[in-house]
Every structure is written in C-alpha cells, then in structure tokens.
Structure 1
Amino acid sequence: MLDGEGRLIEYLRLSVTDRCNCRCTYCMPAGGVPMLGHRDILSFEELTEVVTACAQLGVRKVRLTGGEPLVRRGLPELVRMIRAVPGVEELAMTTNATLLAPVAAELHHAGLDRLNVSLDTLDAARYAELTRGGSLEDALAGLAAARDAGFSHTKVNCVLMGGVNDADVPRLAKLARTEPIDVRFIELMPMGPCAGWPKARFIPAETVLEAVPGLEPLRRDGVAELWHAPGWEGNVGLIRPMSHRFCDGCSRIRVTADGRLKPCLHSAAEIPLRGLHGEALLSELRRGIAAKPAYHHMDQDHASQSARDMNEIGG
C-alpha cells in the first residue's frame, strides 16, 4: 500500500512486549517506567491477526521488537505463527542477545530469518554501566549461538554517544573484519530520557569514518549506508536519522505491544487497533498508513514528538 506521500509501506515493526531485562541509559529512565500488565498486551493470536491484516495491505517484512522480545515467554511459537502468514517474506528480530543463547536454534528452526543485535560497547564494565546491569558475556554468547544455529547476515547495532562509547568504535567495527556481519552505527536521537542530554552526546556518523580509516562506500541497505574495507568479511553501516534525514524513503510502520499503530516513530499520533477484526482492522490500518507524515521534525534543538519511551514503542 502507498501512503499519502507515495511511499510503499511494506515493513512492520511489531513490539511483543514493553519489558526488558536491561535498562539502557538512552532507552529508559534510571528508575524504569511503568510496565503494561499481561492483559494489556496483545496475545499471540492478536499479534498474528495484525500481521495478517498488514500482509493483506502489502507488508512483506516483519520485525519482532520489544522492550526485549525474548522476555516474552513462548516466543518461538509466535515465530511459527507469523511464519505461516501468507505474504510474509522475511521475519526478523531485534534483541540485546543476552537471553538468546538457549533459544537461538529453536528460533531458527521455527522460521526466524535474521537477527539484529544491539551492542553499544565491547568493554564489559562499560556495557554493565550502559545497560544498568547487563552482561556483555551473555550478549556475546548469544551472538555465537546465533552463528552456530545457522543465522546469517546478522546485524550489530551500536548507538553512538559522544564521550560515552565513541572510543569503542574501532573495536566494534572490527567485528566485521572476520565475521560476515554488518556493524551499524546509529546516531543518537533526542527522545525519551536522552532528549535533554548535552549536545556533545549527539555526534554525527562521520565520526565512524574518521575512527576507522580505509572504509570505502559500498551501497545502501534500507536506512543504512554500507561501507567496506578490503579483505573484511562484513561491512560497516551508518544510520543517520539526525544528520541525513531519510524519511522520504521510509517504508515502515510500527505496532506497539498494547496494539497501537504508530505510522511514524517520532510522531505522537497513535491509532488503537486492539479489538478490531476483518474490514474494521484493515480500515484503521489504511487510515494510519495514509496519515504517515512526510518527515519528522527532530533535530539538535527539537526532541522527538513521540509520547512514549523507546521500550514502549519497539526498537
């Protein structure tokens, strides 16, 4: 389906929970946020119904997000259910990987195609500080288990934070030297708890090119600009929502764990879908897609207009 700007909408980011086993500093306030109750989140059947309706409107790619999706019990069963939806060509998941090792093989067998792993540092102490208690060892074990389970084209996502983890860029990038993965660096966005952070925290993705000499431009992959170094197995990606707004090519919509359609990550607009079925569900999806804004208004001086923190929306 085309939105009001003529963009083809074919990508759904579906949050299965707002809960997370980490408390990343840029994602949640130090004290955490109020969590939805079990009855407040969509059941597996409701989630699958939303995916089915979206697929009828042209969505071909679905990404499971959270919070941390792996805190949702029985996730491989949801993967099997969505994998069976006609029209879904790719099913992926974003995870911090700390809970991945025990279930990686089951997820792959259930039909999960690809993984994006959030990893902002390879320093164990800094990882624990940034995640407020997370284990780098567990995250790396999850990455290894994914490789052993047969996952390919895994992407590692790092949020760039000036004065926090920018010194880690060379080491993170070199994960792509010997592994066929894309290590992608994402510009920090002023939303949620980091909206009021000092401007020095918001560094451009060009920092990566300065820190990792020898990278050569390769191609675009969705929102990422890929760069490659001769002899490397994988690539380095730059995602620039701040310095190079890519709204004109956005093909995605989001549905939150409590069943609200967000046509744009950075807009406050949300359309409730829970309790709708058949044509009523399709009609609201069409309305939301048609109302997708042309671009976000976020920059160094203007925070995201989203009314929720990232864990409540889905990464």
Structure 2
Amino acid sequence: MHKPVRNAWKFCRRHLSVGTQPKPVLSTKETLTDLFGRYHNYLRISLTERCNLRCQYCMPEEGVKLTEKPHLLTTDEVIKIARLFVKEGVDKIRLTGGEPTVRKDLPDIIYNLKQIEGLKTVAMTTNGLVLTKQLVALQKAGLDIVNVSLDTLVAEKYEKITRRKGWNRVMMGIDLALQLGYNPVKVNCVVMKDFNENEIVDFVRLTKDRSVDVRFIEYMPFTGNKWEVNKLIPYKSMLGMIQAEWPDFQPLKNAPNDTSKAWKVPGYKGQVGFITSMSEHFCGTCNRVRITADGNLKVCLFGNTEISLRDAIRSKCSDDDLTALISAAVKRKKKQHAETRKTPFMPNLTYHNSILSHLYSQKPFQYTQRMYCTKLTHTDDQGKVAMVDTGEKPETTRIAVATATVQLNSEITLLIRENLIKKGDVLTIAEIAGIMSAKNTSSIVPLCHNIPLSHVQVKAKLKEETCEVHITSSVRCDGKTGVEMEALVAASTAALTVYDMCKAVSKGIVIKEVKLLSKSGGKSGDYHAPEEIHVRDFNRKPTRNQWLPFVGPV
C-alpha cells in the first residue's frame, strides 16, 4: 500500500527553526488555483479507513492493513484543516471514508464544520447501513447533503458484492432521508459488467416516484481490484440501454464543475446522472482536493502524489507554512489523471547501459581562475568574527539564483518518474523544504542577517536522460543586504531532501555542483557565474530572465 512522505517534515523541523521569518501571504484563490487555471473550492475529507462492508471493487478479499489510530487525524486536526481550506475559498466539504458513520465523533465534526464562517455545504457519502440510527442526529448537527452508495437492487447480489448483509437497511435509510427532506438523495451505483448492468433500467425506474438522483459511476480499475478493465461499461453504452426503454430520455443543464452528466425521464420525480471518470474524464473542470484519513493531501484521486498535512500540523508549522505547502501541491496537479494500466507498475529495474556510458563519458569540469579579495567581510579590525553592519547601506531590490544537482541511478530515476518512492512525492517535498530553509537561513548560517524575503521559489526537475535532479532556487528581497546565502541554503536543503527520501533505495546518491548562478543589487554590483562552471547540460550562459520565472509569491 502506497505510503506518503513523513520523514521530510521531521527533517525540516530538525534543521529549521520554523516561524522566525515574516511569511509571504498568499491571496485567497491563488492558493487553490493550479497552473491550468482550475480553482478548487471543494474539499473531500476521509474521516476513517475503516468500513463495515468489504466491497469487491474497492477492497481485496484479505482486507487491507489499517493505519494505527495515533496516525489518523484527530477531530481538532480535521477542523483545523477545514478552517484553513475555507479561509482560502473552499465552500463545500464532503465527508467520506472508509465509511464515515463508523466514526463515533461524526455528529461533533459536522456541527463544528457548520460553525466555520464561509462554508456553505457539508455533505456525506455513506453506504447507508446505519442511516436509520444516525441520520436524525446528523441532520440536527447540520448535515446538508446525503449520498448513499448502492450497487444493486437485489438483496442477494448486494450480499455477494459487499460480502455482508444489509440491503434492506440501506433501502430504509434512503427512504428515511427522503422523509427528512433531503432533496434529492443521491444514490451512487458503480456499474460492472456481468454483475449489475442488467439493473440499469431498474435504477432509472427508482426515480419515478422518489426524489433521488441515481448516479451511474464507471468502474475504475486499480491495484486493489486487480486492474479488471474488462468490467468497465462506458457511459454511452449505459445511455443506449436507457434510451432503448425511454426514447425521450433527455439531458439536463450541468453546472461548470459538475462531475455528473445529468439526465431525466420526462415526468419522473427524480433524475439520473453519469460519472464518466474513465471514458470521458472531467479533469479539465476538476475543483476537488482530498484529505486522507491519515492527513495526506491528494490533489487527484487517481494519482499517487500525497503530502502530509498531519505531520506539518504536528510539527507546529504556522498557518502560512501550511498554506504554502497546500499551494505547492495544487500547483503540481497534472492536467488529467493517469491512464489506467492492466497491471501495476513493478519496479524490477536494471541499469541502462546507454545512460551510464553517457554519464561516465563526461569530461571533468574546468574552472577559470578568479581573483579574490583578501579582506574578509565578517571580521572586525582585530580579526574577530562579527556580522556586517548594514545600518548605513541603502535599501535596494536584491535577487539571487543558486543551483544544485543530485546524481541518482536509473532505478531511483524511474521510481521518481512513476512517483513510487515509498516516502512520497520527492520533487514537491524537496521544493517545500528549500522554501522553508530559505526563510530560516539566519538560524542555520550564524552570521547571516534575519531579513524579510519578498519571494522564494524552488524548482526541482528530474532529468531522466542523465539520471539527475536539477534544483534551482531564486530568492528576492528589498533590503540592505543580499540573498545569496538564502538561495544557496534553499538549493542545498532541497538536494538533501532528495537524498533523504531516496536513500532507502541507494546510498550512492551524490549531491554536487551547489553554486551561485547570479545575483543582482547592492554595492558590489551584479554577478553571473562564468560559463565554465555552469551545469553541463546548459549549452550557453543563462540570462537573469531564464532563471527568474517569477509567477507570484510562494
């Protein structure tokens, strides 16, 4: 089972004194807007990994190893994360699981969520087994919307697919929700070939006298269900079955971020929807992010990338640092979810001779001779260590760019590319560690001034052809002293974080070529590193604009 990074935050807390620098504040909406312009105002929070069913399409027969309770989010942590996201513009939260109703503090969580100013909707997705016992209390706590998962209208088939009894209780739970005024009650049905495709018409009939929104969900293959792609029935096939029974079956207007394509039989009380995750993905309008039960942020349900907000909170990170962490994750969201595989990726890897021969054929670097001033700036007239007095210096805009390279092997390179490093998303965590360290340089390097930074950006890029991670850090401030050390510390810490996250695969990782590329502003003037000491992949001396792709504060 994929486990996200956790040790990176321990590394940051061990080596950085978080909170000593003024934090740049991200504007609302900017935090949750990705590089494709998608604004995320919908948060799904998994409250537990436990479930009282064992559905075949989402859990292997032998079950799964559950996370120990101390590693799960507490009630207070759930509310803290919710408040943080609502502050950045989230107005809808859906509670999921596992099965959320197995969590005893569910009414308290719903009540406290409803007290958050700016949050419009609290919804819940449930298997419906205990709705008859709990729904009245949940409604009083403030629950706005109920989704019930139900894959069959036949009790015997329900017991087969869920490996449990309880179909009658689920149906009574749906009826109770309707009686309590939930309109519509959404019924989620995963359609599977050779199981329930012959019930599609029966589910549509369910909408005749009930205010239900039956939503047919395309089966999504993944490791837990053995990538059984042959069970998928695409949306258009389902639509054809229904139109054969109701030729006047008609589409309804959908909101821009709706995942469900809405349809209706004229005259029926309820409606039908299709969630086409596989045949016609809706990634282009996705406005959802997810928090797992153990506190990891997932910007895509179908992706492996996870970042631990739980560890950040327990490491006493400030709200501004948490916001920066969330923003970086959202910015790395891909254009669309990964394509399915018939078999999971197995890292049975060998070294690629072509890559190794390329690496070992490189000529050694040649450094140009430079003249250095014999007067050290961090000593006084008696040669004692002292900080530079900046009191009389003018304030100017100062920019510095540094770089570092991490030499990997082909195995680690492919694991990073496939996001299969067990600790999580290597590049994102390295970037976050670099940003945090830049803001705390004065706590790491004794003679550096504690200065407010107006911009920090760290980019980690995987170079597959040379099995390297190239890291570039750019730092800017308006002040009396430069930011060269902040840029170098950011690049170095990002490189160390790559090593920390990949060392379990190989201890032969090499960090090299940590250097200042350029700096501007200040009495000493501008500086650009000679071309001879640039990273070998650069064919020409980079300009300032090439290394300063400022797209807003981080």
Same fold (TM over 0.5): yes
Q: Look up the match of 2:331.
A: 290
Q: Look up the match of 2:105.
A: 74
Q: Look up the match of 1:201.
A: 231
Relative to structure 1, the CA distance from residue 296 to residue 302 in structure 2 (aligned partners, 3 Å threshold; closer, same or farther) is: farther
Q: Please give the per-residue CA displacement for 1:61-109, whole angstroms capped at 9, x wherever unaligned.
A: 1000000000001211110011111211111000000011111111111
Counterpart residue identity of residue 233, structure 1: K
Q: Please give the per-residue CA displacement for 1:101-151, whole angstroms capped at 9, x wherever unaligned.
A: 111111111111001110000100000110011310111121122122222
Q: Distance in 1 between matches of 2:146 and 2:336?
A: 27
Greater alpha carbon shift after TM alignment, 45-54 vs 297-306: 297-306
Q: Distance in 1 between matches of 2:419 and 2:227?
A: 14
The answer on 1:262 being equivalent to 2:302 is: no
The answer on 1:279 being equivalent to 2:320 is: yes
Shift of 1:195: 4.0
Q: Look up the match of 2:150.
A: 119
Q: Distance in 2 between matches of 1:192 and 1:121?
A: 23
Q: Please give the per-residue CA displacement for 1:256-284, whole angstroms capped at 9, x wherever unaligned.
A: 01000001111111011014242222221
Q: Distance in 1 between matches of 2:165 and 2:100?
A: 15
2:250 to 216, 241, 255: 216
- TM-score (normalizing by structure 2): 0.53
Shift of 1:210: 2.4
Relative to structure 1, the CA distance from residue 299 to residue 229 in structure 2 (aligned partners, 3 Å threshold; closer, same or farther) is: same
Shift of 1:299: 3.9
Cα pair 2:188 2:215 within 8 Å, conserved: yes
Counterpart residue identity of residue 94, structure 2: R
Shift of 1:300: 6.6
Cα pair 1:190 1:196 within 8 Å, conserved: yes
Q: Distance in 2 between matches of 1:15 and 1:201?
A: 26
Q: Look up the match of 1:312.
A: none
SS state at 1:294 partner: coil
Greater alpha carbon shift after TM alignment, 8-17 vs 171-180: 171-180
Runs of 5+ consecutive residues of structure 1 not aligned to the other structure? 308-315
Counterpart residue identity of residue 169, structure 2: D
Relative to structure 1, the CA distance from residue 115 to residue 7 in structure 2 (aligned partners, 3 Å threshold; closer, same or farther) is: same
The answer on 1:102 being equivalent to 2:128 is: no
Q: Distance in 2 between matches of 1:286 and 1:195?
A: 34
The higher relative CO (CA closer than 8 Å, separation ≥ 6) is in: 1
Task: Report the count of equivalent residues.
Answer: 306
Cα pair 1:98 1:141 within 8 Å, conserved: no
SS state at 1:237 partner: strand
Counterpart residue identity of residue 336, structure 2: Y
Cα pair 1:190 1:298 within 8 Å, conserved: no
**Within 5 Å, which residues of 2 pair with 1:120-135?**
120-135=151-166
- TM-score (normalizing by structure 1): 0.93
Q: Distance in 1 between matches of 2:340 and 2:272?
A: 24
Counterpart residue identity of residue 9, structure 1: H
Counterpart residue identity of residue 71, structure 1: V
Shift of 1:287: 1.4
Cα pair 1:253 1:263 within 8 Å, conserved: yes
Cα pair 2:111 2:142 within 8 Å, conserved: yes
SS state at 2:253 partner: strand
Q: Look up the match of 1:47.
A: 78
Q: Output the aligned Cα RMSD.
A: 1.7
Q: Look up the match of 1:310.
A: none
Q: Look up the match of 1:311.
A: none
Q: Please give the per-residue CA displacement for 1:214-251, whole angstroms capped at 9, x wherever unaligned.
A: 21111225111111111100111011111101100000
Shift of 1:37: 2.1
Q: Point out the structure with max Rg over C-alpha.
A: 2
Runs of 5+ consecutive residues of structure 2 not aligned to the other structure? 1-28, 346-417, 421-554
Cα pair 1:28 1:192 within 8 Å, conserved: no
Relative to structure 1, the CA distance from residue 153 to residue 121 in structure 2 (aligned partners, 3 Å threshold; closer, same or farther) is: same
**Within 5 Å, which residues of 2 pair with 1:183-194?**
183-194=214-225
2:289 to 253, 266, 276: 253
SS state at 1:13 partner: strand
Q: Distance in 1 between matches of 2:145 and 2:236?
A: 27
1:32 to 33, 57, 63: 63
Counterpart residue identity of residue 232, structure 1: Y
Q: Distance in 2 between matches of 1:249 and 1:30?
A: 35
